[in-house]
Amino acid sequence: MKQVQYETFPGAKVTDDMLAEAANLFSENYGIWGEQSLTPGKRIRLGKRRLRDQYLPDHAATSYVRVTVDGTLAGNAFICRWRHDDRSICWITQLVVHRNYRGRGLASGLLGSLLMHPDDVYGIMSSHPFACLAAARSLGMGIEKVPLNFIKDNAEAILKASPVPYIGEAKLRGTLFEGSSSTGLVCGVDTGFFVDHKEPLEALEIVRETRQWPLGNLLDGHEYLLVLQSKHRFRSATSTS
Ligand SMILES: CC(C)(COP(=O)(O)OP(=O)(O)OC[C@H]1O[C@@H](n2cnc3c(N)ncnc32)[C@H](O)[C@@H]1OP(=O)(O)O)[C@@H](O)C(=O)NCCC(=O)NCCS
């Protein structure tokens, strides 16, 4: 029987050794650069210093969640929190699970462990449909039930309030925001992040075989966007109305 352990650390408590392990996990498992990048075909790599600068900046409220299986780092997530319009926003800035441990619910478990600290709104930008499924699942909803109207009405202001530059600068794209679009994207962001989409597109095909996928086509340099209201917020909002 394998021992699976989830642990959460405030950003300031993340040591260099932990970051070195996280950098290794990312560099070996995240993905490769796409055709339109400067180094197509090369693994996307991150060192521990860039991880700290980009994902755990001193000026922001950050945390790190990891899952180990029998003591081995199998997956992790970086989180940034901020407030907007009297709501606490919890944003998943990075999520990666080791190849050998995928498809066992670890991404969903990592995101589920965020609920220990209740926030009002959860968000993620990701090109990987399985990451979107995991985010929706961790909030107790199927991807088919994601309330697109909430995203349409709130995404711009929430992103703009972010202390993380690449989130605030992401351009909202898709029919949800632009009215009409010939690309088939419904709800996403143009981040200019040219990761190779072979793996996410294969995942998209798998998802579309059995489920209704509400976010549309995946475009180069773009990621899907999910901004989800937590049930805790929904309950308190409805009980006071
Ligand atoms: C995306 C990623 C984190 C998913 O990790 P994972 O631990 O394999 O995901 P889980 O096992 O928790 O599954 C998440 C969802 O995807 C589905 N899924 C996962 N693997 C699947 C497969 N092979 N076939 C069909 N569905 C699959 C699960 O059923 C689950 O959906 P559900 O809860 O609605 O049923 C992992 O593939 C990864 O690290 N990819 C590379 C990095 C990346 O793209 N990260 C996201 C950017 S932020």
Average of per-residue pLDDT across 112-117: 90
Helix or strand or coil: residue 230? coil
Gap between the Cα atoms of 87 and 92, Å rounded? 16
Q: Whose CA is nearest to atom 2 of ligand 1?
A: 131
> Does the pLDDT of residue 127 top 60, yes or no?
yes
Average of per-residue pLDDT across 181-207: 96
Tell me which amino acid residue 194 is.
F
Q: What domains are defined for the chain?
A: 4-240 (3.40.630.30)
Average of per-residue pLDDT across 14-41: 97
- Residue 235: which pLDDT band, with cuts at 50, 70 and 90? very low
Per-residue pLDDT at 233: 54
Counting from 1 in the atom list of ligand 1, the atom nearest the Cα of 97 is 39
Average of per-residue pLDDT across 5-32: 98
- Residue 14: which pLDDT band, with cuts at 50, 70 and 90? very high
What is the 138 CA–ligand 1 centroid distance (Å)? Answer: 12
Q: For the chain, where are the alpha helices, taking DSSP H only?
A: 16-29, 48-55, 106-112, 129-138, 148-160, 165-168, 175-178, 198-210, 231-240
- Rg from Cα positions in the chain: 17
> Does the pLDDT of residue 236 top 90, yes or no?
no
User: DSSP letters of 123-178?
Assistant: EEEES-HHHHHHHHHHTT--GGG--HHHHHHHHHHHHHT-SSHHHHTPEEESHHHH
Q: For the chain, what is the total number of helices (H) and then of strands (E)? A: 9, 8
Is residue 226 lining ligand 1, measured as CB closer than 6 Å? no
